[in-house]
Amino acid sequence: MFPERRQRSFLDTRVLSRLSGFPLFARTPMLGSVSGRHPSPHRGSSVEFAEYRKYVPGDDLRRLDWRAYGRSDRFYVKEFEADTNLRCCLVLDTSGSMGYGSKEVTKIEYARRLAGGIAHLAIQQGDAAGVACVAGGIVRNLPPRRNPAHLSSLYDVLEQAQPKGETRIDEVLHELAETVRQRAFVVILSDLFIEPRRLAGGFQHLRFRRHDVAVFHLLDPKELSFDFRRPTRFLDMEGGPALFADPSEIAERYRKAIGGYLDDLKQVMLESAVDYHRVGIDEDYEQTLMRFLIGRARGKGAR
């Protein structure tokens, strides 16, 4: 009668249960369809007073504040803040470079764990969650829904995502900014191997559409240290030309290049007000998620 519960490789129920105590907050007002725990740009019926305004014909008489009428002999309507749910749109980079992992965990596997955890938390607290797998374009898109049964479909998409193709996340971000309805929570999981200045446009487009953007920048430790010893033939995982190099000769310049890139990227993220998290895939993803959730709880409240 019930579908057989599948064991997902990227899910750990113990981790999910421990994370359940940490709510996922949006940093900006969301436009949900139902009541939730996120601030809404509209007035609503929460317990949190917002303001008084003059009665205009047509207003619901039940919302008149009779006490104010008694004191001022004028009609005022008492308004309250509205709390709504959010649409969490997970953007999973499935380009070829996400398949790299110097140890047992690849970047895409790590991204699956993060995405699975965030989706679980979102749907658990009544928010909608969807996923878009992107590489050269949007490979697969699962729109956000808040139906718990939708979570299984989302996991399926995550599970089936394969690292393939080149990274064109800068173009994909523009497309997502237009297709995702305003005021969504966009979580990007990628290694962002693209020129930082080309990313800036996409992030600003998302901000313009009032999306709350968070980025998990996934990097393998070896990609930072580049501690190869023997001469190596590097095959491009995104299909580019191979390169033969002696690490002892090129390592220093490589580190200089990646150092400059990270500095530029950080600058772009600051300018675009993106919730940026640089994550080494050798870190415990539970800790990563924990830091992320706590950080967002601190930034909660802006409307």
Residues found near another protein in the complex (CB under 8 A): 96-100, 107, 191, 193-195, 217, 219-221, 223-225, 228, 230-238, 240, 243-246, 249-250, 252-263, 266, 269-270, 273-280, 283, 291, 295, 299
Of 148 and 260, which CB lies nearer to another protein in the complex structure?
260
Q: How far is the CB of 221 from another protein (least distance, A)?
A: 7
Residue 285 is given by DSSP the state H
**CB nearer to another protein: pick between 139 and 219:** 219
CB of 169 to another protein, least distance (A): 13
Measured distance CA(247)–CA(275) in Å, rounded? 34
Of residues 2 and 244, the one with the C-beta less far from another protein = 244
Measured CA to CA, the distance from residue 101 to residue 112 in angstroms comes to 14
- Indicate the residue among 150 and 296 with the shorter CB distance to another protein: 296
> Whole-number minimum distance, CB 191 to another protein, in Å?
6
Measure the CA–CA gap between 138 and 91, rounded to whole angstroms: 9
What is the per-residue DSSP string for 258-280?
HHHHHHHHHHHHHHTT-EEEEEE
Cβ contacts of residue 23 below 8 Å, gap of 6+?
37, 121, 125, 293, 297
Q: Which residues contact 209 (CB under 8 A, 6 or more apart)?
A: 177, 178, 180, 182, 183
Residue 297 Cβ, how far from another protein at the closest point, in Å? 12
Cβ distance to another protein smaller for residue 127 or 275: 275
Instruction: Judge contact between 162 and 94, C-beta under 8 A.
Output: yes
Min. distance of Cβ 125 from another protein in angstroms? 21
As measured in angstroms, the least distance from the Cβ of 271 to another protein is 10
Q: Which is nearer to another protein, 22 or 228 (CB)?
A: 228
DSSP annotation of 257 reads: H
Distance CA 226, CA 248 (A): 10
Taking the least distance from each CB to another protein, the nearer of 3 and 241 is 241
**Which is nearer to another protein, 25 or 55 (by Cβ)?**
25
Shortest distance (Å) from residue 243 CB to another protein: 6
**CA dist., res. 144 & res. 205, Å (int):** 20
Helix axes 169-179, 196-208, angle to 10 degrees: 0
Which tokens in the block code for residue 202? 């996409």
Does residue 101 sit in helix, strand or coil? Answer: coil
Cβ proximity of 194 and 170 under 8 Å: yes
Shortest spacing between CB 96 and another protein, in angstroms: 7
Residue 49, classified by CB atoms within 10 Å of its CB into exposed (0-12), middle (13-18) or buried (19+), is exposed
